[in-house]
Copies of this chain bind each other. A is one copy, B any other.
Amino acid sequence: MFERFLSKETSYLRTSEIRDLLKLTEGRNVISLAGGLPDPQTFPVEEIKKIINDVLFNNSDKALQYTATPGISEFRKELVNISRMRGITGINENNTFATVGSQEALFMLFNILVDPGDNVIVEAPTYLAALNVIRTRRPNFISVTVTENGPDLEELERKVKDITNNGKKVKLMYVIPTAQNPAGTTMNIEDRKRLLEIASKYDFLVVEDDAYGFLVFEGESPPPIKAFDKEGRVIYTSTFSKILAPGLRLGWVVAHEDLIREMELYKQNIDLHTPSLSQYIAMEAIRRGVIQNNLPKIRRIYKEKRDIMLEAIQEYFPKDSRWSKPVGGMFVFAWLPSRIDTTKMLEKALQKGVAYVPGSSFYADYSGRNTMRLNFSYPKKEELTEGIKRLGQVIKEELST
């Protein structure tokens, strides 16, 4: 009965066939490489239990009560500290904001900043759930190809210049410089600086998603673009979902104070504030070094799982495929021979007992139809090998038809 009551807003929110297909796998004997869940082994359960007991003993009046919209003041100080661990300096608590996962940060930022028709630059491919929020704003998308080293900056500057030459402006670029989701690439420091120079020259904002900044398990994790930002042009967002526990729904933003104030007004309408208990847990987890001490274990587990997945892919995928060798994060991205349509192939894969996310969902223009995203963080090791083996068979069958 509700169809006729719905606002126009909802027409931008259509469920995808893929999501519906993947829902069907629940409870069936399907190895899912489609998810994006952390390995529950990485949750510091005992430490969290201890923290909660202490917090409820010492601070129950505050931890169970309403709090300020941008976050608990002491927690925001710890957000400064954890951001500093990523190389971001020269900020104070008024530059930080606690959100319900980094998803809420993205939801707020794109609603606050993007009007219909605005020019918005995204990587191709890029994070599906960010793309979905941006879509609801009906912008003009400009896609920039992700190479092995991150977004193609020559292509970026050429496209931005074109827009400028036509008398128009770019509003913002959404970018994931480290262990990019889904492509697995990491930008080097020079490219990060170069991207910031382009943003400054053509006067657009950079929304930087650093979800995997602490999850680089090979080599150093370069500082985020925000670390080089002297103009307040970069809006940084990250999450506790991968370094503590996603069930807390806790993310954060580092940005210019003026923007933080806009976020405060917007969030009052959405949900008043982020759960106080989650904030207290993360605050103590930073203070006690729980997060810092847990990182080596998370990185070790994910590196091991990545290696297993890459080995299996090497063995079972056709030779004319290529795939990312991510230095961090939770995903491998694969480019299959161009005759393969991974969206069409999904149903067959599910029948053979393996799930993945077709890559076209990660492209603003739904291209990349021969690509797929594979998650290695959640499945068990033996499932990784078996899943990729099944998938390799499906691909080979698909190629031989």
- Residues of chain A at the chain B interface (Cβ within 8 Å): 1-3, 5-10, 13-15, 36-38, 40, 43, 45, 48-49, 52-53, 56-57, 60-67, 99-101, 103-104, 107, 111-115, 118, 129, 132-133, 136-137, 171-172, 205, 231-232, 241, 245-249, 256, 258-259, 261-262, 265-266, 268-278
Contacts and interface: CB of A to CB of B under 8 A. Distances in A.
A37 B62 CA distance: 11
Given A43-B64, A45-B64, A249-B276, 20 more contacts: A1-B256, A2-B258, A7-B112, A10-B266, A15-B265, A38-B65, A40-B65, A49-B53, A49-B56, A49-B57, A52-B56, A62-B247, A65-B245, A104-B270, A136-B269, A247-B277, A249-B272, A249-B273, A249-B274, A277-B277
B101 A269 contact: no
Contacts of A274: 249
Contact of A112 (B6, B172, B272, B276): B6
B56 A48 contact: yes
Most buried by B among A129, A248, A269, A270: A269
A36 B65 CA distance: 11
Nearest to A107: B270
The 9 tightest CB contacts between A and B, nearest first, are A247-B276, A64-B245, A100-B271, A13-B265, A64-B247, A249-B275, A104-B271, A40-B61, A2-B258
Nearest to A15: B265
A284 to B, nearest CB: 14
Contacts of A36: 66
A35 to B, nearest CB: 8
User: In the assembly, how many copies of this chain are there?
Assistant: 2
Nearest to A172: B5
Contacts of A57: 49
A247 B64 CA distance: 4
Contacts of A100: 100, 249, 270-271, 275
Nearest to A45: B60
A66 B37 contact: yes
B65 A137 contact: no
A168 B184 CA distance: 53
Contact of A272 (B101, B113, B265): B101
19 contacts: A1-B231, A1-B232, A2-B258, A7-B111, A13-B265, A13-B266, A14-B265, A38-B65, A53-B53, A64-B247, A65-B245, A99-B271, A103-B271, A104-B271, A248-B275, A249-B271, A249-B272, A271-B271, A277-B278
A84 to B, nearest CB: 23
A64 B250 CA distance: 11
Contact of A37 (B63, B65, B268): B65
A211 to B, nearest CB: 13
B60 A113 contact: no
A369 to B, nearest CB: 23
Contacts of A64: 40, 43, 45, 48, 245-248
Most buried by B among A133, A247, A270: A247
A114 B7 contact: yes
A49 B151 CA distance: 48
Contacts of A261: 15
A174 B6 CA distance: 16
A129 B262 contact: no
Contacts of A259: 2
B65 A270 contact: no
Most buried by B among A15, A66, A118, A231: A66
Nearest to A52: B52
A7 B271 CA distance: 20
Contacts of A66: 36-37, 241, 246-247
Given A13-B262, A52-B49, A262-B10, A107 B246 contact: no
A63 B14 CA distance: 29
